Structure 1
Amino acid sequence: MLQIQFIRENKQAVLNGLAKRNFADAETVIDEVLNTDETRRATQVSLDNVLAESNKLSKEIGSLYKSGEIQKANLIKEKTSRLKEQSKELTEKLNIATENLQKTLYQIPNVPHSSVVKGKNEEDNEEIYREGIIPELGNSSLPHWELAKKYDIIDFDLGAKVTGAGFPIYKGKGAKLQRALISYFLDKNTAAGYNEVQVPHLINEASGLGTGQLPDKEGQMYHIPLDDLYLIPTAEVPITNMLRGDLLQESDLPKSYTGYTPCFRREAGSYGAHVRGLNRLHQFDKVEIVRVEHPENSYKALDDMVEHIKNILRELKLPYRILRLCGGDTGFTSALTFDFELYSTAQERWLEISSASNFETYQANRLKLRFKNKDGKSQLAHTLNGSSLALPRVLAGILENYQTKDGIKIPEVLVPYCGFEIIN
């Protein structure tokens, strides 16, 4: 959530940033925020004055009673009664203005970083890096969903029987490869200084609001009405919310975490080869990295996260590229996002496998996540997160890019985790 003071002091910069996102009626919404805030502040001043006057008169009444001036005290009591009514009206007005301000602020996305270009969708994203060799598999290559069936390692039909479409069942060496990837990713992350945590797979509404999944993405989340809990869309949500409401010391920063969780998303939706198999699921596994940083260090931290993910993909020897997302494709809460995509030779297309984002103070403002700076003043921290990595499309890329006439070879770095070198 944007800070109201930042909007007041940087209105045009906010409007310019929202224009990069093609945010509809930006000026109308920003003016509504500023007008509501002006009403809120003026009401607060009036309320404070009334309360101060009421307190002053209450003390005066006490003194008058002690000195025996009963009649004069009773006259002043009548005035305090009117002030109490006025205070009640102003409090109600203040609460309404505060609630309306909060609701409107929730509707405004983050302001993109200066490096983000204006754009409508993924077609306007900028490729900034590419690495790896795309294998030549020939005409006999198969997409991963056919390989999964051929070697009986992932069963999409059985998953649909048990639950529904988008809930695959991993079998035999497919399950072991999945487990190997999770362990490998966690080991790489902890070796890089991330603290491993195991977190709940359900969150409350406050957690969803804290990291920005609510109210923006409510329709994409699985909700349990009886308990008013939500299945997590990513480990970012419970991990970041571990620090919700905390006041850290500057020496506590940075905070770095990694965690594995299943992820649940309702938006799988459309049909066609681009969403077949593992390309888009309602439930999938992901290993996440989360950082809480001093604002002065957060963009260096983002660069470090990008390099960390690059090193993992180098070890897996998968061809990949990095995109800097344009304004129209950048997530609601993010200021800057880099997407990683690997090339699926069998599908002849790029598949998104990771993103690394800096949210600056947007999430921290919702979370009330602050630290005491060297001057002893509280200041909002910066939050960041990245997939390191999302498993379905990494697994799809391994199956497709490592397929041979004899079977599917296992990337060398994963063999100690799997206990086998080939799926055949």
Structure 2
Amino acid sequence: MSSVFYRSKKPYPVAVRGEGAYLIDEHGRRYLDGASGALVANLGHGNARIADAMRAQALTLPFVHGSQFTSPVLEAYAARLAGLLSTPGYRFWAVSGGSEATESAIKLARQYHAERGDTGRYKIITRRPSYHGASLGSLAASGMGARRELYTPLMNDAAWPKMPKPDPQLDGREDARRLEAVIQEAGAGTVAAFMAEPVVGASDAALAPNSGYYAEIAAICARHGMLFIADEVMTGLGRAGSLFATAQWATPEWNGTPDIVVLGKGLAAGYAPLAGLLASPDVYDTVMGGSGAFKHGFTYAGHPVSVAAGAAALDILQEQDLVTRSATLGTRLLDGLRDLQREAPAILEVRGRGLMLGLVLGDPDTGEAYAAPGIAERVGRAAMAAGLITYPGSGAVDGVRGDHLLLGPPLTLQDTEADELLALLREAFRTA
């Protein structure tokens, strides 16, 4: 009997090795990782260069506590990350995972306003559906009913107003202006920030608003004295076809850089736990020029071995031009998924940006979600049985109904592997 506390009662294959886009279990069976785990393993599995960088760092300096020391590897990596933004002067706050990173952003937004003497601002507006993490604060910010329901008594829902999700039928700026009503209802002087995934991930696979949306969001936030936080845990560093997804919504009046950018998952590409946020000069200077300290922290924040993995991953991303690869291969896979849609009536919509791709599933007779969830899980199980890992989900419509399938293979995926992914997915739909 296993001593592991598993996430569910389902049987788990035992993975023993990873090679590129594949995972191999204890029986030698190969699985094409069509979801990069949970859109994490952006550079595939078994990269010796990243492993060597981690080993070298572990032999030199494996750990320092962030309240006592900094390290050369963290200083260099932070400068590189901040230099990727179109606005200079951002500062990197390192943590271990996406939930910690969004939790940090929430606390930073609160402290920013308190340092300015505007202590009445504490609410964070997010969207429904959305997913920002599993810690209590990041889960409260999430608009994902099934994951929040059990823990609702532990949350002050009044602190987390919700805005409707993007509507692809609306002009982007008109869509964004729906934020105004939420601000007014919440009380404009009580709102600290608006936080959103540029491209929605686990809660509504690869849903994105139209052009103009985030420029208008940024303008509304500035007008009301709020911060704009972009949760790029899933989309950041090339996943959505650009280094930062919000850059795809840049306009002449807005350069595409929010006040706080939250990052995770692809930062170290699954080789080590690494996440964090990039804070604007105004946010950093306000906090450090006030009390002089961010009143928050985690034991493993800025862990040198994890940061070394992140630095090596960034080297590979840039040297192999994998951001461009994500955009071009994403277009190829979108075309293949639209071909599949013609064969599988339960696929109501195909969408995506870069290698963040989504299938909306439902009743082909009505064009609506099925009355009860389940089709996405059935397709996911059939795909797994065929040797393809996917990321099924439900609840996009009302927290229960609304099945979807998220795909996010490694950015290093080869053309032949993309064809294999489509063939295995076609087999899964035929089975399911």
Q: Same fold (TM over 0.5)?
A: no
TM superposition score normalised by structure 2:
0.26
The structure with the greater share of residues assigned to strand is 1
Higher-Rg structure is: 1
TM superposition score normalised by structure 1:
0.26
The structure with the greater share of residues assigned to helix is 1
